[in-house]
Amino acid sequence: MKIAVVGATGMVGTVMLKVLEERNFPVTELIPVASARSAGKKLAFKGNDYTVVTLEDAVQMNADIALFSAGGDTSLEWAPKFAAAGTTVVDNSSAWRMDPTKKLVVPEINGDVLTKEDKIIANPNCSTIQLVMALAPLHEKYQMRRLIVSTYQSVSGTGVAAVRQLENETQGIEGEMAYHYPINRNAIPHCDIFMENGYTKEEMKLVKEPKKILRDDSFAVTATAVRIPTAGGHSESVNVEFVNDFDEAEVRQLLHDFPGVVVQDNLDTNTYPMPAYAHEKDEVFVGRIRRDESLPNTLNMWIVADNLRKGAATNTIQIAEYLVANDLV
């Protein structure tokens, strides 16, 4: 099993290598891929050193699977070239997510849509993944009508420059600004670029992607995405109105039984999800589960996950695991 990791020296690529090793993915040959300026560097994986190669070289090396995390423009240009060479691409950028010819996959929810013919597979947005993981079992049981989500997203979602900005500001050091404003002791209601409708691109991902993953566009979604000064882990305040009424105990049981979801919801012990708890974990944590007393059939909850793991690297690798387990590569 020859595996290429495109963007291997980046923030998500580094986590991908870590997760591949932790989950003991059957890698017989690793191909770390990065830009020309990183070519020739050595990366350690499972006790061995591997040399970083360029995209031009990697596409000729006939990997079975290529895990992409190198930005949308790179994916648009290079994913089809890898696919044409017979490599199955799992792409972590936004490039292919809403392409009607490409599958958008969270394996616990819709892995069954994948076939051998799918040579470019899209990994959803980090905020979307943790959202649909909590909503999928509830939507199946009660049928969502309308969803309101407000996100509290860590700087690691922007990238290494934003992490450095936060670190510099907490230490009183002047440096490169990844954001228009200071992020330390601040909250910036601006994730990604603004669209013509006044929403950000991140907010529109939260509107569109859940419908494709859940294979249902009958429910309405509106979102507000906010960047906060945490180094890692995204949090979401979710208000969801269902067609059918629910029992809170049953909601907790449905969430508890869903693979990859952990319920943290004990008010007596002040137990609820927080980024500090989710750090370097693959699960999606759900708490503050309570009925919205202002509307019938409506629920509030709080969802937290490590955006670099389940929100990016881990979900990408779980897709690869599903492909291997079902003989789709």
Strand ranges in the chain using DSSP code E only, listed in sequence order: 2-6, 29-33, 42-45, 48-51, 65-68, 88-91, 103-104, 120-122, 144-153, 220-227, 234-242, 261-263, 284-291, 298-305
CA angle 279, 281, 282 (to 5 degrees): 135
16 phi and psi angles, rounded to 5 deg: -60, -45
Q: Does the active-site annotation cover 234?
A: yes
Structure tokens at 6: 């495109």
Catalytic status, residue 139: no
List the catalytic residue out of 126, 190, 256, 279: 126
112: alpha, beta or left? (left if phi > 0; alpha if psi -120 to 50): alpha
Long-range contacts of 264-272 (CB under 8 A, 24+ apart): 265/289, 272/302
Contact 237, 228 (CB under 8 A): no
Is residue 125 within 8 Å of 97, Cβ to Cβ? yes
Which candidate in 139, 191, 234, 256 is catalytic? 234
H or E element, residue 83: helix 72-84
DSSP state of 240: E
Handedness of CA 173, 178, 182, 184 (dihedral sign): negative
> Could you give the residue numbers annotated as active site?
126, 234
